[in-house]
Structure 1
Amino acid sequence: MADEKLSKGLLDAAFKKKSEEEEQKVKEEDKATVGDIITFEKDGQQVEAIVTSARLQNSVVCDMTIMEDFDERDLDVEKTVVAHTNYSIKKRSDNN
């Protein structure tokens, strides 16, 4: 009986985890593409960047130097990778 309860608990946990993962997936039409301007949080700051590569499955590569105050922000890098779940699209590229 204890084994059945343990098995049921493990199955329930697995289904819950899978369900949560499915909810976090971003629809294709909501993903940024090259040239889009996105916003996201980095190092406690709201950041704006242009997408330079969208070939990764779960994220995009973007360039933050488009911000006029990039040099004053004291960010360590010019480019970064952002998961699809962690950004919002500010402006779509004219090429889309």
Structure 2
Amino acid sequence: MADENLRKSLVDAAFKKSSSEEEQKVKEEDKATEGDLITFQKDGQQVEAVVTSSKLQNSVVCDMTIMDDFHERNLDFEKTVVAHINYSIKERRDG
């Protein structure tokens, strides 16, 4: 009986994890592409950046130097990688 309960618990946990991962997936049309302007939080700051590569499966590479005050913000790098679930699209390249 204990083995049956353990097996059921493991199956339930796996199902919950799978459901959680499905909820976090971003629809293709909501993903940024190269040239799009995005906003996100980095080191407690609201940051704007332009997407330079969208070929990664779960994230984009972006350039933060487009901000006028980039150097005053003391960010460690000019580019960073941001997961699809962690940014908002501010402006599409075509729009």
Place the TM-score, normalised by the shorter chain, in its bin.
over 0.9
| Match of residue 37 from structure 1 | 37
Query: TM-score, structure 2 length as denominator?
Result: 0.98
In the TM superposition, structure 1's runs of 4+ consecutive aligned residues that sit over 6 Å from their partners are none
Q: 1:50 Cα shift?
A: 0.1
Q: Aligned with 2:62: secondary structure?
A: strand
Q: Give the unaligned 5+ runs of structure 1.
A: none
1:13-52 pair list within 5 angstroms? 13-52=13-52
State the distance in 1 between where 2:55 and 2:12 align: 34
State the distance in 2 between where 1:81 and 1:5 align: 42
Query: TM-score, structure 1 length as denominator?
Result: 0.97
Residue by residue over 1:49-90, the C-alpha shift from the partner in whole angstroms, topping out at 9 and shown as x without a partner, is 000000000000000000000010000000000000000000
The code of the aligned residue for 1:8 comes to: K
The code of the aligned residue for 2:26 comes to: V
| Match of residue 56 from structure 2 | 56
Aligned sequence identity (%): 79
CA RMSD of aligned residues (A): 0.8
How many residues are aligned here?
A: 95
Alignment partner of 1:71 is 2:71 = yes
Residue by residue over 1:21-75, the C-alpha shift from the partner in whole angstroms, topping out at 9 and shown as x without a partner, is 0000000000000000000000110000000000000000000000000010000
Q: Give the unaligned 5+ runs of structure 2.
A: none
The code of the aligned residue for 2:18 comes to: K
